[in-house]
Chains A and B, each alone.
Chain A
Amino acid sequence: DAKTTQPTSMDCAEGRAANLPCNHSTISGNEYVYWYRQIHSQGPQYIIHGLKNNETNEMASLIITEDRKSSTLILPHATLRDTAVYYCIVRVDNYGQNFVFGPGTRLSVLP
């Protein structure tokens, strides 16, 4: 079972920041938060992950609350190509542990 809850869908204007929330209130101390996205008909793509510190890479930023019960993925300047389903996953970073995907958030970036 997925251990996260996300809104079903969100809209964002092109050029604006897209903030995608994720609740993971039962997260354990050794579980990481991973974000993936799936653009229509393609395989899911890794975006970012973190444990408790905020993380940033060339694609996005990840903000994790101090109690680690929720997080937000931020796409700083959304483009039409960011339209996709975004998945938030919690997972122990152990060798070979699988990823359980929930339904995710369908983000539509509007012109």
Chain B
Amino acid sequence: DAGVIQSPRHEVTEMGQEVTLRCKPISGHNSLFWYRQTMMRGLELLIYFNNNVPIDDSGMPEDRFSAKMPNASFSTLKIQPSEPRDSAVYFCASSSPVLGAGELFFGEGSRLTVL
């Protein structure tokens, strides 16, 4: 089975540009999570969805960040405008309390560098 697929794997952009990160969860999983990882702050939850509905977005840093899940097989995390402090690895994860123990399956991450 294909795991969680994220794109792009690496993104280098300039401050002020829009960044869109994409995630395809594992088929059949109905919970999707976006995490951000930095050396300073570790692994932080940004937002998670159940059945395509955002449940908790309290971790989203500010209005520059937005996330959508238009259907069960696709989600985006958008940063507009981007800033150097947004540089991090962004992970997407999915889970299914029905198919397993509710454990998270992570993608390989999108490494973002904002110059």
Contact = CB atoms under 8 A, between A and B. Distances in A.
Interface residues of B, number: 26
Interface string A43-62: 11110010000000000000
A11 interface: no
Contacts of A94: 97
Interface of A: 34, 36, 38, 41-46, 49, 87, 93-104
Among A36, A38, A42, A95, max chain B CB count under 10 A is at: A95
Contacts of A101: 35, 42-44
8 contacts: A41-B89, A42-B109, A43-B91, A46-B104, A95-B31, A96-B55, A96-B95, A101-B42
Secondary structure class of chain B's binding surface, majority of residues: strand
A98 B42 CA distance: 16
Interface string B49-81: 010000110000000000000000000000000
